[in-house]
Amino acid sequence: MGKYVYDFIEGDRSRADLLGGKGANLAEMTRLGLPVPPGFTVSTDACRAFLATGSPPAGLFEEVNAHLREIEARLDRRLGDPRDPLLLAVRSGGRYSMPGMMETILDIGLNDVTVGGLAARSGDERFAWDSYRRLIQMFGRTVHGVPAEEFEHELAAVRATAGPGGPSAGQLRDLVDTYKKIFVRHVGHDFPQAPHEQLFLAVRAVFESWNSERARIYRRQERIPDDLGTAVNVMAMVFGNLGPDSGTGVAFTRDPATGAPGVYGDYLTDAQGEDVVAGIRNTLPLPELARLDPVSFRRLREIMATLERHYRDLCDIEFTIERGRLWMLQTRVGKRTAAAAFVIAAQLVDEGLITADEALTRVTGAQLAQLMFPAFDLAGAPEPLTVGVGASPGAAVGRVVFDSAAAAAATDPVILVRRETNPDDLPGMIAAAGVLTSRGGKTSHAAVVARGMGRTCVCGAESLDIDAERGEFVVGDRVVRAGDVLSIDGTTGRVWLGAVPVQPSPVARYLAGELSPEADGLVAAVHRLLGHADAVRRLGVRANADTPEDARRARRLGAGGVGLCRTEHMFLGERRELVERLILADGPAEREAALAALLPLQRADFVGILAAMDGLPATIRLLDPPLHEFLPPLAELTARVARAEARGEDPGRDATLLAAVRRMHEANPMLGLRGVRLGLVVPGLFAMQVRAVAEAAAQRIRAGGDPRPEIMVPLVGDVRELAAVRVEVERVLAEVDGAPEIPIGTMIEVPRAALTAGEIAAEAHFFSFGTNDLTQTTWAFSRDDVEGSFFGAYLERGIFPVSPFESIDAKGVGRLIRLAVAEGRAARPELTVGVCGEHGGDPDSVEFFAEAGLDYVSCSPYRVPIARLAAGRAAVAATTGTSDSR
Ligand code: ADP
Ligand code: MG
Ligand code: MG
Confidence (pLDDT) at 881? 60
Using DSSP's 3-state secondary structure scheme, residue 393 falls into: coil
**Calpha distance 228→207 (Å, rounded):** 11
Q: What is the pLDDT of residue 886?
A: 35
Q: Is residue 235 lining ligand 1, measured as CB closer than 6 Å? A: yes
Q: In what order do the strands lie in the sheet with 315-322?
A: 284-285, 261-269, 247-254, 315-322, 325-333
pTM to 2 decimal places? 0.84
Please pick, among 565, 836, 839, 859, the residue that the annotation labels catalytic.
Answer: 836
Mutation probe of ligand 1 site: the residue of 118, 235, 250, 320 with most atoms within 8 A of C-beta = 320
Residue nearest to atom 14 of ligand 1 (CA): 273
From CA 521, how far away is CA 807, in angstroms rounded?
31
- Ligand 1 centroid–CA 91 distance in Å is 7
**Residue at 156: amino acid letter:** A
Question: Quick one: which atom of ligand 1 is closest to the CA of 92?
Answer: 6
The catalytically annotated residue of 47, 67, 445, 527 is 445
Orientation angle between helical segments 365-372 and 338-350, nearest 10 degrees: 120
Q: How do residues 138-180 score in pLDDT, each as one tens digit?
A: 999 999 999 999 999 999 999 999 988 889 999 999 999 999 9
Question: Torsions phi, psi of 40, nearest 5?
Answer: -150, 165
Is 225 touching ligand 1 by the criterion CB < 6 Å?
no
Determine the distance separating the centroid of ligand 3 and the alpha carbon of 865, expressed in angstroms.
24
- Write down the pLDDT at residue 803: 87
Q: What is the set of domains in the chain, with CATH numbers?
A: 5-236 (3.30.1490.20), 247-333 (3.30.470.20), 373-503 (3.50.30.10)
25 lines ligand 1 (CB under 6 A): no
The verdict on the CB of residue 249 being under 6 Å from ligand 1 is no
Q: What is the mean pLDDT, run by run of 10 residues, along the chain of 886 residues?
A: 89 95 97 98 97 94 97 97 97 87 91 97 95 96 94 94 90 97 97 98 95 84 86 97 94 92 90 68 88 97 96 96 97 91 97 97 93 87 91 92 93 95 83 92 74 83 93 94 96 94 92 93 97 98 95 96 92 85 90 94 96 98 91 90 92 89 90 95 95 98 98 98 97 96 98 98 98 97 82 81 91 98 98 94 95 96 95 93 46
Q: Are 483 and 399 in contact (CB under 8 A)?
A: yes
Cα 332 to ligand 2 centroid, rounded to whole Å: 10
Q: Are 338 and 367 in contact (CB under 8 A)?
A: yes
CB 3 within 8 A of CB 64: no
For position 575, what pLDDT does the model report? 86
Residue 570 near residue 546, CB atoms below 8 Å: yes
Distance 684 CA to ligand 3 centre (A): 21
Q: Is 459 a catalytic residue?
A: no
Inter-axis angle of helices 864-880 and 843-851, nearest 10: 50
836 is catalytic: yes
pLDDT of residue 595: 94
The three-state (H, E, C) secondary structure of 18-54, written as one string: HHHHHHHHHHHHHHCCCCCCCEEEECHHHHHHHHHHC
pLDDT of residue 443: 60
What pLDDT does 884 receive? 45
Distances (CA, A) of 485 to 172, 398, 469: 55, 5, 19
Which residues surround the ion ligand 2 when the cut-off is CB under 5 Å?
318, 330
3-state secondary structure of 882: coil
